[in-house]
Amino acid sequence: MVLKQVVEESLDPNAYAVVNGAIPETNALLNEKWDKIFYTGGATVGTIIAKKAAETLTPKEILPAFIEQLKIAMAEFFPKGQKLSPDFARIVNNRHFHRIKKMVDDSKGKILIGGEMDESENFIEITVVQVNDTKDSMIVDESFGPLIPILAVDSVEEAIKNANEVHSTPLGLYAFGSKAETNKILNEVTSGGASINDAFFHGSIPTLAFGGVGDSGQGAYRGKASFETFTHRRSVTTTPGWMEKMLAVRYPPYGDAKLKQFRKMSEKKPNFDREGREIKGVAYWLSFLGALGSEGPQGALFRLAILEKVEKLQQCNKCGNAKLGAGSGFWDAFLPDLIWRRRE
């Protein structure tokens, strides 16, 4: 009550008001439209306020303040005006001057900043145009010039919808906002590259891969990406003679047994379980079995015996009946058979 009294006695009541209350009063305030809501308190209530604010805060109403900041920045960059500034470039030639000029002339939007043009110098001032829809000439084509079209929206979802409608696979994506907002944009808009809370910063780092996706380009270059772009990855396999017995499934005559074995050899399965733990299958054991045994039939039989035992062990493991380790009894049954086959 003291704060309410101080505010009402010291400040203009037409501009400032204090409302004391609890949940009903707070809900009533949140139902009104606000340009800004400042809240201090717990996370639970903060979440409720943020959700409600998203329904009533209108980004379109922020546009005037944004335009004002653009004007301040331009005055700082070009204190004597853009045309007199040695830092402001001209359009490369007359053909492109008229191309960019036509985009502005054909627009149904409203010029908020700039608009000055001088054909004798191929000069076009930075021109900010507020457009009404995604079909506007300022939106449909890339200007490659000093044009800034603005299409105001009421939500991030609407911005994402518009972006995907205009170009679903742009070369660059420039998302501004909170981490939650920019993450949502990155997840729902595909692009060749992206700069968060900046413009084209990812394109200025020479070691980062740069390239398009979809109809904005294929592949990437710069740094390691340039080397990989012009490198062909050639796959080479070498089949040792001792594997021929194992690969006999490839040759006729064919039957159900061979078909079953072929499926076991060719079917792809994840090398990890639902908990993310690596599954050491036949391919894993083959990676070091190549060094076991000797050349010839005896070495091949030795390796086949190991594979048979490993497969049986895996089947037992799936049922939870066996484990590979000391004291499991596996090696007691495994080694004598291997020694016998090896001596044979």
Could you say which of 229, 261, 293 is where a domain stops? 229
Could you say which of 173, 207, 229 is where a domain stops? 229
* 316 vs 263, more confident: 263
Average pLDDT over residues 264-277: 79
Average pLDDT over residues 177-195: 94
* In a shared domain, residues 65 and 154: yes
* In a shared domain, residues 140 and 201: yes
Instruction: Give the integer Cα–Cα distance in Å for 67 and 60.
Output: 12
82 located within any domain: yes
Provide CB contacts within 8 A for 114, sequence distance 6+. Answer: 82, 125, 126, 127, 128, 146
234 located within any domain: no
| The model scores a pTM over 0.85 | no
Indicate the average pLDDT of the chain. Answer: 81
Instruction: Sort strands 193-196 and 172-175 into parallel, antiparallel or unpaired.
Output: parallel
* In a shared domain, residues 8 and 150: no
Query: What pLDDT, on a 0 to 100 scale, did the predictor assign at position 5?
Result: 84
Instruction: Give the integer Cα–Cα distance in Å for 203 and 225.
Output: 14
CATH number, domain at 113? 3.40.309.10
* 2 vs 187, more confident: 187
* In a shared domain, residues 117 and 185: yes
Domain residues for 38?
2-57
**pLDDT (tens digit per residue) in 121-162:** 999 999 999 999 999 999 998 899 999 999 999 889 999 999
Maximum distance among all Cα pairs of the chain, rounded to whole angstroms: 107
Provide CB contacts within 8 A for 100, sequence distance 6+. Answer: 91, 124, 143, 144, 145, 147
71 band by pLDDT with thresholds 50, 70 and 90: very high
Give 285: exposed, middle or buried? Use CB within 10 Å, 0-12, 13-18, 19+.
Answer: middle
**pLDDT (tens digit per residue) in 297-341:** 656 666 666 666 666 666 665 555 444 443 444 444 444 444 444
The total of structural domains in the chain comes to 3
